[in-house]
Structure 1
Amino acid sequence: MFPAGPTYVQDDKRESLELAPLAHVHDEYDSRPMASSSAFQSGKPSMFNDKTFQDDTVENSTEVFEEDPLETVEYPDGGWKAYSTVAASLLGLICAFGIMNSTGAIESYLEKNTLKTIPTTTISWIFAIYTFLSFGGNLFSGALFDTYGAKKVAVPGAVLLCGGLLATASCTQVWQFVLSFGVCCGIGCALLMAPMVSCIAHFFKQKRGLALGIAMPGASIGGVIWPLVCNSLYPKIGFPWTMRVLGFIFMGILTTSCLLINDRLDEISNQTSSKSSVWAKVKESIDFKTLKDPVYLILVGALFMNEFSLILCFTYIPSYALDKGYSESFSLIALTVVNASGVGGRYLPSHLSDAYGRFNMILAMSAIATFAVLVLWLPFGKYKPAFVIFCIVYGFATAATLALTPLCTSQISKAKDFGKRYGTAYFFVSFGNLICIPIGIALTKTSAGYNGMLAFAGAGSFCSTLLFVLARYKLAKFTWKAV
């Protein structure tokens, strides 16, 4: 659910400025925060055992770290502008990704109160459209950032997000919620993501891992804070004023963020980037020809199924809790627990992947997520202790898969192709995000109820794990290698 940060190589064998304009193309939920300053160190070519696969893929995997003699841009790696930009990114992500990770807190209230007479399947389209625009819109916001810089993209995004929340407060019908929250907030979040993530690449090189490590936790911080705010305010001032309070808080935070954010677009574009149009840059972000690479194609399928499952689960954890008789307060706390446990999930597995392999780690985390849904949540979710354990395990595992996604993509990509490959992958994933919520919630209206939805989500996660295993097999068969 969260976008990847820009490429950074610890040994400084390669610094590809071509990635900076494209690395914001969507990560999630989120992230998709990057945990390690050595995040994009690729594996050695010797990991390829299959000659056929090697012929198809070695071109993308072995040239990542060739020295670029044309690079002349110097990075300050410190100073007021650099660190104020990191602070701006942190604040912006607290709002943009924070509200994205808290949609369950809004959905559960609408389902039980404001829109209680409306079919749940209809309500789900509010959040499906929001998710689709938030992720899919990154292709356009990235191109806008490359062309106009951070402030000119972040300010309209902040206005749309804050305005959308204030408008949501006054909504009473589904179409109003679709326009205010689904469309307005969705586009606002999309516009904020690109500048908030990519601006750091303009100021940091040697310390980029540190800078990203400071900024990216904003996604989880927001995911923890905003459900707690809703939980506290709903019974006291009701839904309309809770949304207004959120809107005013966001207004203050994002105003500070927009004032602090900077970029070095003129200097970098003059030395490294073409003067192509916004639409040309959007088209450059997607390359369907790259699907000819078999491992990349399998990875795209795995990412599609992974996000299909996790967005469904994240959105309806509070609704499930209410359906099982838990209090509204507990249902929002459960969502907070999922987001809080994701803080460790974003970083520890990414660091371990340097030693144990990115594909090894992501398939392990996907397997744990599948276990959490099918073994912990599905049969035992009606018991509160088991449900809490599920939230902890699932939050950690899914956050890990999101953080490891850009690392796996980079491992089988040339540096210059990473942005296109990442953008192409999430072009497909965003359409899965559009349909997964309505399909999943429709299953709750069958005789199986929420158990039907959980089985569906678990099956999606299981398919994702199998595809990760297949991708890993294509890379190194069943050998014990760090792949």
Structure 2
Amino acid sequence: MNTEPKGSTPGLLPSNNAIDISLNPTTSPATFATTQTCEECQPPRPAAPVAPSGPDSNSSEQSEDVDEAQKEPKFGSNLEKIESTYPEGGLRGWLVVLGSFSGMLASFGYMNTIGTYQAYLAENQLSHYSESSIGWIFSIYVFLSFGCGIQIGPIFDAKGPKMLVLSGSILLMLSVMLLGVCTQYWHFVLVFGVLGGVGTSLIFTPAISAIAHFFKVKRGNATGIAACGGSVGGIIFPLMLQSLFAKLGWAWATRIQGFVFLFLLIIANLLIRSRLPPTPGGSVLPDFRIFKQIPFLLVTIGTYFLEWGLFVPITYMISFGLASNAMSHSFAFQMIAIFNAGSSLGRWAPGYLADKFGRYNTMVATVFLCMSSSLGLWLPAATLAADGGNKTVIFGLTVTYALFMGFASGSNISLTPVCVGMLCDTKQYGRYYATCYTIVSFGTLTGVPLAGAIIQACNGNYWGVTLFTGLCYACALACFTAVRVIKVGWDWRIIY
């Protein structure tokens, strides 16, 4: 019997394996097994038994039984092939990307509109509260959006995304629909902060994690496309609310936003799916022992500083525009839309480039741009505004900063999941990503109120908070650079 394997061997092509090694040196046992030759991977086939002579022999039946035994798949080996073979697209894969885009258009669109809510509430329902007190509403929201992932990620790994996305959709719809009847401070804390935060987390964690089941070589590009949903929402909803607040008032403006959410979340529930089978008997409990891995610990610390700095301009850019007197009231409310317009390109383009030039290489470059734009554009604008400087210069610096920072900070959402995924097996991706963002959530809890306190300490001026933002990105830059150096050294020609 000829024992040479025929046909194509399931698994990644050799060229893809080469890319995987360059992008992710930490190779799981399952992935390593598929990179061997067929002779090394497959157990030796037993020789076909010699058919006995004589009229009573059933040689043909025995031969068929042997062939069937040889063809019978082993569960373990098939599971390894499934885990290590990625479709890199296809109809199912891109439908998952579409579902994730829709889910993040609603959930992250809600998040990227907090600057509009903050400015409106500070002038109306909560005008008698300080900037720092109002900031706690949005800090609780962002904290829960990321912090709840510590449990959601492991549940995704063990059970899949269906019930998580459905539960998140219900909570997010309750949040946006009840927002219109809120009048007291504690109303906003419960409805926007708690309901909205938990709902957002239940949607965006599975939306990000599901993409990793279908893409590996092209994961940066696919994640970037899906993450664009949040920035597109950050363009649409602030402009929509600015118009509706004047025409229909607070209550109906937020309800109309809710109806848009309903359509988007239906699409998300229909399309977000996982591919890898749930781990039999898999635990849904977090495991903090993974922080013993120094690269993962540094990525978590770096992401902490990224998010600590990111939500400062998202929350206070409109307030700065109003306080600077360098732009009209209506244009100040459009600043967050300009920021998210830059972010739309910034969430996709770095992801696409990362697949070609290296995920950490691209991350370091974009974080450097975040730091440079904060210290080189927003800080001078805030300093001039504090001194009563030229309003035309302040206007130009602020708009330029919104575009550059929006573009550069888009990678904070699209590339961070990909960088985390390079440090673990795909079947553990939800746990790693959720554990990272649970720690990061404490930065988002304190970042916005701390920025509000800094503004108050600077007598209502914004130079202190812009300096804080720039320093946060400097710390993040040091952490991501350290991970890259630990993994592949200082040679920036290496794709990593």
1:352-376 CA deviation, whole Å, 9 max, x = no partner? 3344433332222111111111110
The letter of the residue matching 1:345 is: G
Contact kept in structure 2, 1:42 and 1:410, CA below 8 Å: no
The letter of the residue matching 2:280 is: S
Structure 1 pair 154–459 and aligned structure 2 pair: CA distance change class (3 A): same
Match of 2:284 in 1: 281
Contact kept in structure 1, 2:299 and 2:480, CA below 8 Å: yes
Bigger mean CA deviation after superposition, 211-220 or 360-369: 211-220
Match of 2:297 in 1: 297
The count of residues paired between Structure 1 and Structure 2 equals 426
1:306-355 CA deviation, whole Å, 9 max, x = no partner? 11111222121112112212333222321111111112222323333344
In the alignment, structure 1 residue 378 sits paired with structure 2 residue 379: yes
Match of 2:358 in 1: 357
In the alignment, structure 1 residue 94 sits paired with structure 2 residue 105: yes
**SS in structure 1 of the partner of residue 249 of structure 2:** helix
Contact kept in structure 1, 2:113 and 2:238, CA below 8 Å: yes
Match of 1:30 in 2: none
Match of 1:122 in 2: 133
**SS in structure 2 of the partner of residue 221 of structure 1:** helix
In the alignment, structure 1 residue 261 sits paired with structure 2 residue 271: yes
The letter of the residue matching 2:476 is: S
In the alignment, structure 1 residue 219 sits paired with structure 2 residue 230: yes
The letter of the residue matching 1:329 is: S
Contact kept in structure 2, 1:338 and 1:395, CA below 8 Å: yes
Contact kept in structure 2, 1:41 and 1:411, CA below 8 Å: no
In the alignment, structure 1 residue 172 sits paired with structure 2 residue 183: yes
Using the TM superposition, give the Cα deviation of residue 439 of structure 1 relative to its aligned residue in structure 2, in angstroms.
0.9
**SS in structure 1 of the partner of residue 259 of structure 2:** helix
Contact kept in structure 1, 2:345 and 2:407, CA below 8 Å: yes
Q: Distance in 2 between matches of 1:423 and 1:235?
A: 40
In the alignment, structure 1 residue 328 sits paired with structure 2 residue 329: yes
Match of 2:477 in 1: 465
Match of 2:391 in 1: none
Using the TM superposition, give the Cα deviation of residue 388 of structure 1 relative to its aligned residue in structure 2, in angstroms.
0.8
Q: Distance in 1 between matches of 2:12 and 2:351?
A: 14
Q: Distance in 2 between matches of 1:109 and 1:363?
A: 35
Structure 1 pair 388–437 and aligned structure 2 pair: CA distance change class (3 A): same
Bigger mean CA deviation after superposition, 179-188 or 200-209: 200-209
**SS in structure 2 of the partner of residue 362 of structure 1:** helix
Structure 1 pair 10–331 and aligned structure 2 pair: CA distance change class (3 A): farther
Contact kept in structure 1, 2:144 and 2:198, CA below 8 Å: yes
Contact kept in structure 2, 1:92 and 1:257, CA below 8 Å: yes
Bigger mean CA deviation after superposition, 465-474 or 444-453: 465-474
Q: Distance in 2 between matches of 1:293 and 1:202?
A: 23
The letter of the residue matching 1:261 is: L
Match of 1:18 in 2: none
Using the TM superposition, give the Cα deviation of residue 433 of structure 1 relative to its aligned residue in structure 2, in angstroms.
1.0
Match of 2:32 in 1: 66
**SS in structure 2 of the partner of residue 281 of structure 1:** coil
Match of 1:367 in 2: 368
Contact kept in structure 2, 1:164 and 1:181, CA below 8 Å: yes
1:274-314 CA deviation, whole Å, 9 max, x = no partner? 234xxx3132xx33x33333333322221111111112221
Q: Distance in 2 between matches of 1:408 and 1:252?
A: 31
Structure 1 pair 140–296 and aligned structure 2 pair: CA distance change class (3 A): closer
Contact kept in structure 2, 1:10 and 1:41, CA below 8 Å: no
Contact kept in structure 2, 1:63 and 1:414, CA below 8 Å: no
Structure 1 pair 119–177 and aligned structure 2 pair: CA distance change class (3 A): same
Contact kept in structure 2, 1:64 and 1:413, CA below 8 Å: no
Structure 1, unpaired ranges of 5+: 1-7, 15-37, 46-59
Match of 1:56 in 2: none
Match of 1:312 in 2: 312
Contact kept in structure 1, 2:347 and 2:411, CA below 8 Å: yes
Structure 1 pair 319–67 and aligned structure 2 pair: CA distance change class (3 A): farther
Q: 2:239 aligns with which of 228, 241, 251?
A: 228
Q: Distance in 1 between matches of 2:341 and 2:293?
A: 36
Q: Distance in 1 between matches of 2:155 and 2:225?
A: 25
1:423-470 CA deviation, whole Å, 9 max, x = no partner? 332221111111111111111101353211111122211222223333
Contact kept in structure 1, 2:221 and 2:352, CA below 8 Å: no
In the alignment, structure 1 residue 474 sits paired with structure 2 residue 486: yes
Contact kept in structure 1, 2:225 and 2:348, CA below 8 Å: no
1:170-249 equivalent positions in 2, closer than 5 A: 170-199=181-210, 215-249=226-260
Contact kept in structure 2, 1:13 and 1:67, CA below 8 Å: no
Q: Distance in 2 between matches of 1:331 and 1:342?
A: 18
Q: Distance in 2 between matches of 1:299 and 1:403?
A: 14
Query: Percent identity, aligned pairs only?
Result: 32
Structure 1 pair 300–149 and aligned structure 2 pair: CA distance change class (3 A): closer
Match of 1:51 in 2: none
Normalising by the residue count of structure 2, what TM-score does the alignment of the two structures yield?
A: 0.76
Higher relative contact order (CA 8 A, sep 6+): 1
**SS in structure 1 of the partner of residue 32 of structure 2:** coil
1:98-139 CA deviation, whole Å, 9 max, x = no partner? 111111111111112221111111111110010011111223
Match of 1:159 in 2: 170
Contact kept in structure 2, 1:165 and 1:244, CA below 8 Å: yes
Structure 1 pair 345–65 and aligned structure 2 pair: CA distance change class (3 A): farther
* RMSD over aligned Cα atoms: 3.2
Bigger mean CA deviation after superposition, 399-408 or 448-457: 399-408
Q: Distance in 2 between matches of 1:111 and 1:438?
A: 14
**SS in structure 2 of the partner of residue 282 of structure 1:** coil
Q: Distance in 2 between matches of 1:148 and 1:298?
A: 29
Using the TM superposition, give the Cα deviation of residue 61 of structure 1 relative to its aligned residue in structure 2, in angstroms.
5.8
1:397-423 CA deviation, whole Å, 9 max, x = no partner? 111243222333344445555544333
Match of 2:40 in 1: none
